[in-house]
């Protein structure tokens, strides 16, 4: 059973910016030639996440509002107090809760995504960074 | 290595209703004839999730109370303001945080679930809907 | 395609204690002899979770503070009210939100973890317990 790895580099801006990578995941699946199995999207960072979104402008704004409310930026996070120059304690806490790994089944060469499901990367950090994402495809 | 896909349709009511699908997942595993590998349960919707619950009546009530507190229904979510007739902005935000994909290892033909772990689907939407769930089994 | 299962037992103390198991996951991968595929870390409990952390002392403290704020201990959780002697309703709710399954791709015999990413188990319960974790490796 073959295993194929594809790598994405995304120039992101932080501050809960969202990037839709559904087309890249689908292209990687097609290029693999595999027909059934699992695609795993894995973000190689602790202040960014992958999740499934109905990608319309309202929910992009709501996502930012949600995180600013649930886990606010705060100079008093210990990560900021104990590490000189750091201000992204909240970014880490958001990233670890939303998660950096997502697994999607595919069959007949097609991802099992529902009509409104998009795969997105969210950058929770406080400055622009290049983000590395692994798209791994395993199947038959 | 075979890959087997099984599809569930669930008639759900929304409002944080929880449906236990552990038996269906176990039945799909037995029907596959596979002995070791991964089962992925994937919900094909943006306002419903899959997670692991100790399924007793108190925690079902607590789960609803938790979500009503963490991410309340609110006409001011942008998803509701910008899309006429929508009132389920909170349902989307809950679904994307709880997640729509769960992967469970199995060996000796048995899921690795602990004694108290049940696989459940939760419907966060504001009206009744039929929910589609893929149970994919890959292994040897 | 081989599937290899490895089992960990961890003596943990509850109260959002964090244990770094990255080395154990890497050792299990090396012992498997596999070069490319998926590692799934699965916690067989409903009051403990697995996640990815930048493992420095500040973020360990922030993680505890976050959970004490998001989902506080409270005698009024229905799990506590309806089940005599139980006081860990919040532990269950934290465990189900943070999740008990994590899937990480590997290739060239190496996990796809980024520089700062550590795999940790967190124990949300209110007393010391032995925690069982499955590390399953599937690949080629």
**d(C-alpha B36, C-alpha B43), whole Å:** 23
Percent of chain A at pLDDT > 90 equals: 99
Residue pLDDT, tens place only, C8-37: 999 999 999 999 999 999 999 999 999 999
H or E element in which residue B98 lies:
helix B89-98
The interface predicted TM-score of the complex, written ipTM, equals 0.98
Q: Tell whether C111 lies on the interface with A, counting CB pairs under 8 A.
A: no
Instruction: Please judge whether B59 and C45 are an interchain contact, meaning their C-beta atoms are less than 8 angstroms apart.
Output: no
- Expressed as residue numbers, the domain containing A45 is 3-139
Distance from the Cα of B57 to chain C's closest Cα (Å) equals 8
Q: What's B113's domain CATH number?
A: 2.60.120.460
CB C19 within 8 A of CB C120: yes
Q: What is the pLDDT of residue A42?
A: 99
> How far does B55 lie from chain C, in Å, by closest CA?
10
- The residue of chain B with its CA nearest to that of A122 is B96
Question: Residue A92: which region, alpha, beta or left (left: phi > 0; alpha: psi -120 to 50)?
Answer: alpha
Q: Is B107 left (phi over 0), alpha (psi -120 to 50) or beta?
A: beta
Confidence of residue A43 (pLDDT cuts 50, 70, 90): very high
Angle made by CA atoms C18, B66, A17, in degrees to the nearest 5: 70
**In the 8-state DSSP scheme, what is residue C3?**
E
Residue A36's pLDDT is what?
98
Cα(B74)–Cα(B104) distance, integer angstroms: 35
The pTM is what? Answer: 0.98
Give the model's pLDDT for residue C38. Answer: 98
Inter-chain contacts counted by CB atoms under 8 A, chains A and B? 99
Q: Which partners does chain B have (≥3 C-beta pairs < 8 Å)? A: A, C
Share of chain C above pLDDT 70, in %: 99
Distance CA B44, CA B72 (A): 23
**How many residues would you count in chain C?**
140
| Chain C interface mutation, best of A28, A67, A100, A140, highest count of C Cβ atoms under 10 Å | A100
Q: What pLDDT does residue A136 have?
A: 98
Residue B28: helix, strand or coil by DSSP?
A: helix
Helix (H) or strand (E) holding A113: none
Contact (Cβ atoms closer than 8 angstroms) between residue C85 and residue C97: no
What's the pLDDT at C139? 97
Strands laid side by side in the C37-43 sheet: C3-12, C129-139, C37-43, C101-107, C110-111
**Pairing verdict, β C101-107 and C37-43:** antiparallel
Cα–Cα dist A15/B40, whole Å: 32
Structure confidence at residue A106 as a pLDDT band (50, 70, 90): very high
Whether A88 shows a pLDDT value over 80: the answer reads: yes
Is B36 near chain C, with CB under 8 Å? Answer: yes
- Mean predicted lDDT score pLDDT of chain A: 98
Res B45 pLDDT > 80: yes
| B6 pLDDT above the threshold of 90 | yes
pLDDT of residue A110: 98
**Confidence (pLDDT) at A96:** 98
Burial zone of B63 (CB within 10 Å; 0-12 exposed, 13-18 middle, 19+ buried): buried
**Residue B1: pLDDT above 90?**
no
Q: Is there a contact between B45 and A116 if contact means CB atoms under 8 Å apart?
A: yes
Contact status, residue A116 vs residue A54, Cβ threshold 8 Å:
yes
Distance CA C88, CA A23 (A): 43
Provide the number of structural domains found in chain C.
1
Residue C1 in this model has a pLDDT that exceeds 90? no
Helix (H, G, I), strand (E, B) or coil at A30: helix
Q: Is C140 on the interface with A (CB under 8 A)?
A: yes
* Residues in chain C within 8 Å Cβ distance of B66: 71, 93, 97
State the Cα–Cα distance between residues A55 and C19, nearest whole angstrom.
36
**Model pLDDT, residue C108:** 97
Q: How far is the C-alpha of A99 from the C-alpha of A107, rounded, in Å?
A: 25
C125 φ, ψ (degrees, to nearest 5): -75, 175
Instruction: List, for residues C82-136, the tens digit of each pLDDT value.
Output: 999 999 999 999 999 999 999 999 999 999 999 999 999 999 999 999 999 999 9
- Name the band, by pLDDT with cuts 50, 70 and 90, for residue B11: very high
The model's confidence at residue B13, banded by pLDDT at 50, 70 and 90, is: very high
Q: What is the pLDDT of residue B84?
A: 95
The SS3 of residue A10 is: strand
B102 pLDDT tier (thresholds 50, 70, 90): very high
CA distance C6 to C16: 24
**What is the overall mean pLDDT for chain B?**
98
- Predicted pLDDT of residue C120: 98
State how far the Cα of B13 lies from the Cα of B129, in Å rounded to an integer. 6
* pLDDT at A1 exceeding the cut of 80: no
Task: Using alpha carbons, select from C92, C63, A67 the residue that is nearest to residue B97.
Answer: A67
């Amino acid at each position: 059973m073959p295993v194929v790895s594809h790598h994405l580099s995304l120039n992101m801006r932080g501050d809960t910016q969202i990037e839709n990578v559904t087309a890249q995941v689908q292209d990687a699946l097609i290029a693999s030639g595999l027909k059934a199995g699992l695609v795993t999207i894995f973000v190689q960072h602790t202040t960014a996440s992958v999740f499934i979104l109905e990608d319309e402008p309202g929910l992009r704004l709501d996502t930012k509002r949600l995180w600013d409310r649930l886990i606010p930026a705060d100079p008093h996070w210990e990560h900021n107090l104990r590490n000189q120059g750091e201000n992204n304690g909240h970014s880490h806490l958001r990233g670890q809760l939303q998660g950096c790994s997502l697994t999607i089944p595919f069959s007949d060469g097609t991802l099992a995504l529902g009509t409104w499901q998009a795969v997105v990367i969210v950058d929770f950090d406080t400055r622009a960074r290049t983000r590395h994402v692994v798209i791994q495809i395993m199947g038959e």
